[in-house]
Structure 1
Amino acid sequence: MEAHSDHKHLQALRQGDYSILEHLYEAEAGAVLRYVCRNSGTAADAQDVFQEGILALHQKAHDPDFTLTCPIGALLFQICRNKWLSQLRKKNREVEVRKAEAERYETENIVHNTLEKIEEEEIRQRKLDQAFGQLSELCQQLLQLLASGMASAEVAEQLGMNNANTVYRRKNACAERWRNLFNAQTA
């Protein structure tokens, strides 16, 4: 491939003439700034990328096997563009990793909290069952029949009570006794 006319600038850099760098700053820094700012970056990001691009160009200039085949400004812009895209990919990966970790942590917490709640509910249910077992046979039958949806009049007849009012009074007394037994276990 034939060398571009700007290859002379690389040769000047090889020989220690850095005046081309000032020219590149003036001519190309604005384009890099606009590109980076339009693509999720800041002026500070653009300045960092431009500096990295200048350093990369300087390294290319000192590679004896490298031949410039395009304008030096285009090469510098492409180097800066690639460096910025690489930083964006790295930032996106970091954001994705942070997001995945946050989701994993949240999922673990949800599972842990759910298991804790299930365990607490099982303990609570066991204590309710134990307290229920301490009730009189009549209270147990009364509460079970009412819980099954049987009408108060039918419950009164089946358990040999006078009427539905007696069932309600007895139900309230049994429920209160059950509550007290349960609370005594959890205290």
Structure 2
Amino acid sequence: MKHSDQKYIEALLNNNRVLLDELYRKFSGKIKRMILSNNGTEADAADIFNEALLTLYHKASTQNFELSCPLDAFLYIVCKNKWLNELNKRKNKRVILEDDEINLEEDSFKMAEDLILQEQRYKLLTEKVAELGNTCQQLLQLSWSGNSMEEVAQILRVTYGYARKKKSECMARLITLIKQSTQFNSLKW
């Protein structure tokens, strides 16, 4: 599903100055803070941000790229990888050839796509948990919060055996709801 931040991708492709100015105002600060807190300068931050936008422009113009997560999360991953690469070059720990840089960009996109997929899976899981009854919701949330089943049973004021059996039933129902979802196959579970 296309994210509402897709408008910024279209602004890059169409050189829409108004939206591009908004993109810089809205997203560059987070990148700047990340780079400044990791031995960079404001000039480094600007360079990395612009490189990330160029990478994104290239991807969008050649592959009909559609954004399905918030742009700030996507840009953050791309910029973080570019900045780590730059730090490695400065420390002379690693020589990056142009082919390696292309792979890094592809890795950044792969990481961003994985992040998007993870967010979509989490959203589906959250939606399906909400479809369960209150008892199942509470039991699953308590057990997923790191509580032992003994603690869960004590909190819910039920026997340990009942809590385990009920959790098993709730999980089975949740799995069924997720598998019946139209999104299930597209999320590569």
TMscore range, shorter length: 0.3 to 0.5
Q: TM-score, normalised by structure 1?
A: 0.44
Q: TM-score, normalised by structure 2?
A: 0.44
Larger radius of gyration: 1
